[in-house]
Chain A
Amino acid sequence: MSTISRDEVARVAALARIELRPEELDRLAGELEVIVNSVAQVNAVATPDVPATSHPIPMTNVFREDIPVAPLDRDKVLAAAPSAEDGKFMVPQILGEE
């Protein structure tokens, strides 16, 4: 099993949208290598004949009654947002260019 380099941690952190300070990258690289090596043992027992389980009690086609219910109160929701304007969330520009 491959080990996790500092560059790999930086790549994964970018995927997860977490800005890490250089010292955090150093520390995480060491810690993750230990953790990942230890959890890799699952490969040894997960033979092809074993089916995967994603959920403890499988339930399918769960529906509720098709009755309209009131949504969350808009003003209460927006009051808890970092920024709001005109009854909408206010967010930073989405694209990197003007």
Chain B
Amino acid sequence: MTDIIRLSAAQLAEKLRAGELTSVQVTQAYLDRIAAVDESINSFIVVTAEDALATAAEVDRLRGEGAQLHPLAGVPIAIKDVVVTDGVQTTAGSKMLEGWIPPYDATLVEKIKEAKLPILGKTNMDEFAMGSSTEHSAYGKTLNPWDLDRIPGGSGGGSAAALAAFEAPLAIGTDTGGSIRQPGAVTGTVGVKPTYGSVSRYGLIAMASSLDQAGPVTRTVMDSALLHELIGGHDPKDSTSLPEPQTGYVAAAEQGATGDLKGVRVGIVKELSGEGYQDGVQDRFDESVELLRAAGAEIVEVSCPSFEHALAAYYLIMPAEASSNLAKFDGMRFGLRVEPSEGPVTAERVMAATRGAGFGDEVKRRIIIGTYALSSGYYDAYYGSAQKVRTLIQRDFNAAFEKADVLISPTAPTTAFKFGEKLDDPLAMYLNDVATIPANLAGVPGMSLPNGVSDDGMPVGFQILAPIREDARMYRIGAALEAALEKKWGGPILAQAPELEAK
């Protein structure tokens, strides 16, 4: 059974097609693993074992009948709890939505169901995707499988930890400022934030609509490419969805895996290094650069001077949009309703009581910052200025992509920190996302893949950024680097992680 759960999604798909494994066997192996270790790491809020096994049995039956199936049919998947699932509780990590059963599926869930991937359950996250540690979940924190005293990243800590702990071969994440890539970096897994609009946002519980993007959380670059092609593509229900088909990622990963990067220009972003970057993170980064050079890539240095202001612009734009998006949690149509403890029970007072009781600290903090930044007299100075910084960051990217085909940096400045270390210092927590945020502000795609272990024994992430609509480039470069690293290590990075004890 151990062998099944350690296979990649691509390998599982191949064995399912060849009839060496059944989907029921695979799905049961993962459910057994969840039963054994999830009490220790708390990746899942809900496990949907019965539904998953029913889908698996259906795939096995159809395959037996010789039906044409999607390449990933029968490969199980976990879904971040910010994505709505028809008939299955969706909480976004908030008390506000405890027990809420959505009446519809997100578009990406529809695609997963059409392709018949058994859905294992919904993964834990920071409340409404606000956080970098999963400590802000109303359903308890998720623990990092590499070290149970450390954070699994956030907001998608549940999805990333589920992959690192072999509780799922695939998962869905969402990334507004790094919530797919940073958890990937600190858990030794792969995470991709596609170009804005590559994957439909219909059915994601929105935080910041101009920044949110769903994407793959996997253990290999190829698995991300396969999942990206499955969930990507135009959706008439999302007016920001890109009209062109989202294909070519698997082919790009295959090309990259040959290890030849001749003619590829790789740009090191000067501003995403130096002060604040842990020595072990910088060392692994420098080693990866040498591997890319050895594969034939031309390495250049690029400067993006406005990135210095990206964090500040992000912490105005994101709360401003979040404060508007979260206005719908008013205790009227879904989720929690709390009546005021005294005085008249009017709609307005019910709203305030509901939101006071249902939202956690970080959500309140961001709604209030956003409301403040949008309020009369401050709008131009804060929100207006932040939008101008966004223009400057886009210009920096445009200039850098004149000199390089892809840009690279460490994904996060440090490895996973210990629980509680940054909980009382919001600014320190926000600094985790310093290298991932520029991509969201500009809409460009970004990937994080593991590129080694730091001095503290924790995994390090390597970020690849590509121009808008050029997601294929990061699959090519990512697969090339992954192949070179695994050759050096003699296997995947997760083979270096300590064994989780089953409870």
Contact = CB atoms under 8 A, between A and B. Distances in A.
Interface of A: 1, 4, 8-9, 12-21, 24, 28, 31-32, 34-36, 38-43, 45-47, 50-57, 59, 62, 64-65, 72-73, 76-77, 79-83, 89, 91-96
Given A18-B356, A89-B332, A46 B388 contact: yes
Contact of A36 (B242, B309, B331, B372): B372
Interface stretch (B42-50, B101-109, B123-131, B258-266): B101-109
Contact of B346 (A19, A55, A93): A93
Contacts of B375: 12, 15
A42 B468 CA distance: 24
Given A16-B367, A92-B350, A96-B344, A31 B102 contact: no
B495 interface: no
A43 to B, nearest CB: 5
Contacts of B351: 17
A80 B391 CA distance: 41
Nearest to B240: A59
8 contacts: A4-B372, A17-B327, A19-B357, A43-B385, A56-B441, A56-B468, A62-B239, A77-B103
B368 A82 contact: no
Interface in B220-263: 236-237, 239-240, 242
B390 A53 contact: yes
Given A35-B426, A82-B331, A94 B352 contact: no
Contacts of B239: 59, 62
Interface stretch (B13-21, B148-156, B310-318, B482-490): B310-318
Interface string B312-331: 11011000000100010011
Contacts of B312: 38-42
A35 B347 contact: no
Nearest to B440: A56
A56 B394 CA distance: 8
Contacts, number: 186
A14 B8 CA distance: 50
Given A52-B388, A55-B210, A91-B347, 15 more contacts: A12-B368, A24-B364, A28-B364, A38-B427, A40-B382, A42-B386, A46-B388, A50-B392, A52-B387, A59-B240, A62-B239, A64-B237, A93-B344, A93-B346, A93-B347
B101 A79 contact: yes
Contacts of A38: 312, 315, 427
A70 to B, nearest CB: 11
A94 B391 contact: no
Contacts of B392: 45, 50
Nearest to B358: A18
Contacts of A73: 103
Contact of B443 (A12, A57, A95): A57
B197 interface: yes
B336 interface: yes
Nearest to B90: A80
Tell me which of B327, B345, B369 has the highest count of chain A C-beta atoms within 10 A of its own C-beta: B369
Nearest to A11: B375
Given A64-B236, A94-B347, A83 B334 contact: no
A62 B240 CA distance: 8
B196 A57 contact: yes
B201 to A, nearest CB: 13
A54 B347 contact: no
A54 B387 contact: yes
Contact of B368 (A13, A47, A55, A95): A13
A92 B353 contact: no
B394 to A, nearest CB: 6
Nearest to A16: B371
A20 to B, nearest CB: 6
Nearest to A9: B368
Given A39-B316, A42-B389, A17 B355 contact: yes
B442 interface: yes
Nearest to B314: A39
Contacts of B285: none
Contacts of B389: 42, 45-46
B181 interface: no
Nearest to A41: B312
A26 B337 CA distance: 26
B27 to A, nearest CB: 27
A56 B443 contact: yes
The 8 A-B residue pairs with the shortest CB-CB distance, nearest first, are: A56-B443, A19-B356, A82-B337, A46-B385, A52-B387, A76-B103, A46-B388, A64-B236
Contact of B337 (A1, A45, A83): A83
Nearest to A79: B101
A89 B387 CA distance: 38
A97 to B, nearest CB: 9
B385 A18 contact: no
Contacts of A28: 364-365, 368
A65 B234 CA distance: 13
Nearest to A44: B309
A80 B394 contact: no
A94 B473 CA distance: 54
B381 A65 contact: no
B462 interface: no
B306 interface: yes
